[in-house]
Structure 1
Amino acid sequence: MRFSVFTAALPQWTPREAVEQLAAQGWDGIEWRVVDQQDAPEPGFWAGNRCTWPLATLEQDVPRIRELTEGAGLQFSGVGGYALCDEHADVDRLLAATAALGAAQVRVRTPALGTASYGELFAHARTCFADIAGRAARHGVKVLVELHHQTVVSSSSAALRLLDGVDPAAVGVIHDLGNLVIEGGEDVRAGLEMLGPYLAHVHVKNCVWRPAETGADGTVRWEHAWAELPTGQADVGAYLRHLTELGYDGWVTVEDFSTDRPLAERTAANLAYLRAARVAAVPA
């Protein structure tokens, strides 16, 4: 089991600062965020993120990305793409760049809820990923589908329905523990087991639900908030134990969107916590 960080969680660092800091702390790899983002007055996770490579210049940036990553002694855990499954030209660009980097796997997004009926969105996504699988195989890379709230694939069972009949060598699933606190909650171990050969990658973050407001009629409305790995509602230690017992030996990529600690302290604490949890997960 190897540990990496998704650069969406590193908004204050430049790519060079990110690889230098992560390498010095002892991380195994990095997962680069690739998207044309909005500017922001201050660096943020989703806008103005300094540790993001623009999709618009991805082909030109590939040599630089590879030089920085390999020069720091880090490996690619994957590429965090934001292209939707029906944005065919952008998906093809991500596939080609992933192959050029030697990164092995790249995320392609599934449709968000609300733009059409669930059945229409799901059928459309199934058609798209069946097609993408062939294109990914030609590039020698794997496409990743992330379990994500407010999309057509928020659970392991939904992912299995989406990919039924698709070659797991070409398309796999990112199991995301923190996202499942928000939506798609199934028994964690059962979800991992049911994915079988489709379990290709793991994202780890944590989350809590908290009361947001109380209406005039007494109805309490709740909201979710990101939390540090040890303090959220998901049991990260038990998660690593399940993964170990099921024979998973791939990447565990951290997406910590909590902000209580400074960034360097946060990343170092996360690695120490995961290393200790990995040791505890191995049977005596």
Structure 2
Amino acid sequence: MRFSVFTAATPEWSPEEAVRELAAQGWDGVEWRITDQADAETPGFWAGNRATWPLTGLEESVPEILRITNEAGLDFSAVGGYAQAADHDNVERMLSATAALGAGRVRVTLPKLPVGDYRAVFAATRADLEWAVERAELHGVQVLIELHHGTIVSSASAAYRLVEGLDPRRIGVIHDIGNLVHEGFEDLGAALQILGEYLAHVHVKNARWWPNGEFGIDGSTVWAPYWASLHEGQADLDWLFRALVAIGYDGWVTLEDFVDDNRPREKVLSDDLAFLRGAYERALMWAEWVASGAGDDDGAGPAEQA
């Protein structure tokens, strides 16, 4: 596997600073955030992010993106776009830029809930993706959709239903275990098998549910999900890597760490890289153990292994 960072997670750094630090730490690649964002006095993950390239005028930025990425010795794991699948003009822009960068793959986003008539919106989005796949074929790239809470596709089952029958060379799914803590979690072994040839990319972050300080009308505690560091969240990342190894996945794993815990950003990322590498190494050891005949071979979680 190869490891990269989505630059939403590096808001304080300029693009040059981001790639320089990632390369120095030993990351294999970068996933650039591309969107028109709001300004902010203090750089943040979603507004004022200094490591984000604007969608408006993206064509003019392509040579600079390519230059600083190549000079740092990093590869593109994908392009982190935010163009809605129904926004054909900007999807075309992202596909063209991805081809020019040689980045291979680009994310498009899906309608957010609530959508009114879910079936109608789902069908319309399928039509949008059919169009995107045709354009991706012409550009020689791949469209990615992400398992994401609060959208029409929060689970592997829903994502497979949306892309089933389309060319997996031109459309794939991003599995994101942190998003699944919010909504859409399915057994990891089953979920990855459901996606099958459509599993094209993996995002990793973590989250956990906490009481949000409010109470229901009956006095019950109200819970809400919050982002957490990789080692403190509810998602079992060892299970994720075992499940990925079990199906032979050997592609990109991109970090998305949106926790601000007062550690310097370079410390957060170096700790995260060590964590991810450790989880992968343990998964490989587990696979050897399974191959020896001592254990299960389905990437089972702790409870199932007991």
Amino acid at match of 1:154: S
The SS at the match of 2:57 is helix
**Residues in 2 aligned to 1:168 and 1:217: alpha-carbon distance in whole angstroms:** 49
Query: Is 1:64 the counterpart of 2:64 in the alignment?
Result: yes
The SS at the match of 1:149 is coil
The SS at the match of 2:135 is helix
Instruction: Name the counterpart of 1:262.
Output: 264
**Residues in 2 aligned to 1:136 and 1:216: alpha-carbon distance in whole angstroms:** 50
Name stretches of at least 5 consecutive residues in structure 2 with no aligned partner: 289-306
Report the alpha carbon displacement of residue 258 of structure 1 after superposing the two structures with TM: 1.0
Query: Is 1:185 the counterpart of 2:185 in the alignment?
Result: yes
Query: Is 1:203 the counterpart of 2:203 in the alignment?
Result: yes
Give the one of 274, 280, 283 matched to 1:281. Answer: 283
Instruction: Name the counterpart of 2:137.
Output: 137
Amino acid at match of 1:278: Y
Instruction: Name the counterpart of 1:232.
Output: 233
**Residues in 2 aligned to 1:230 and 1:137: alpha-carbon distance in whole angstroms:** 40
Query: Is 1:243 the counterpart of 2:225 in the alignment?
Result: no
Amino acid at match of 1:234: A
Query: Is 1:23 the counterpart of 2:23 in the alignment?
Result: yes
**Residues in 2 aligned to 1:116 and 1:96: alpha-carbon distance in whole angstroms:** 32
Amino acid at match of 2:20: E
**Residues in 2 aligned to 1:232 and 1:188: alpha-carbon distance in whole angstroms:** 16
The SS at the match of 2:56 is helix
**Structure ID, larger Rg:** 2
Number of corresponding residues = 284
**Residues in 2 aligned to 1:182 and 1:252: alpha-carbon distance in whole angstroms:** 20
**Residues in 1 aligned to 2:60 and 2:198: alpha-carbon distance in whole angstroms:** 32
Query: Is 1:146 the counterpart of 2:143 in the alignment?
Result: no
**Residues in 2 aligned to 1:69 and 1:127: alpha-carbon distance in whole angstroms:** 34
Runs (4 or more) in structure 1 with deviation over 4 Å come to: none
**Residues in 1 aligned to 2:238 and 2:181: alpha-carbon distance in whole angstroms:** 15
The SS at the match of 1:55 is coil
Query: Is 1:110 the counterpart of 2:83 in the alignment?
Result: no
Provide Cα deviations, 1:75-98, integer angstroms capped at 9, x if missing partner: 000000000001011000000000
- Identical-pair percentage: 57
**Residues in 2 aligned to 1:214 and 1:15: alpha-carbon distance in whole angstroms:** 43
Report the alpha carbon displacement of residue 216 of structure 1 after superposing the two structures with TM: 4.8
The SS at the match of 1:174 is strand
Provide Cα deviations, 1:191-227, integer angstroms capped at 9, x if missing partner: 0111000000000000000111223521211111111
**Residues in 1 aligned to 2:169 and 2:129: alpha-carbon distance in whole angstroms:** 13
Instruction: Name the counterpart of 1:252.
Output: 253
**Residues in 2 aligned to 1:73 and 1:234: alpha-carbon distance in whole angstroms:** 32
**Residues in 1 aligned to 2:113 and 2:273: alpha-carbon distance in whole angstroms:** 34
**RMSD between aligned alpha carbons?**
0.9
Which sits farther off after the overlay, 109-118 or 128-137?
A: 109-118
**Residues in 2 aligned to 1:101 and 1:165: alpha-carbon distance in whole angstroms:** 28
Report the alpha carbon displacement of residue 37 of structure 1 after superposing the two structures with TM: 0.4
**Residues in 2 aligned to 1:151 and 1:195: alpha-carbon distance in whole angstroms:** 18
**Residues in 2 aligned to 1:12 and 1:105: alpha-carbon distance in whole angstroms:** 25
Report the alpha carbon displacement of residue 245 of structure 1 after superposing the two structures with TM: 1.4
Amino acid at match of 2:272: N
| TM-score normalised to structure 2 length | 0.91
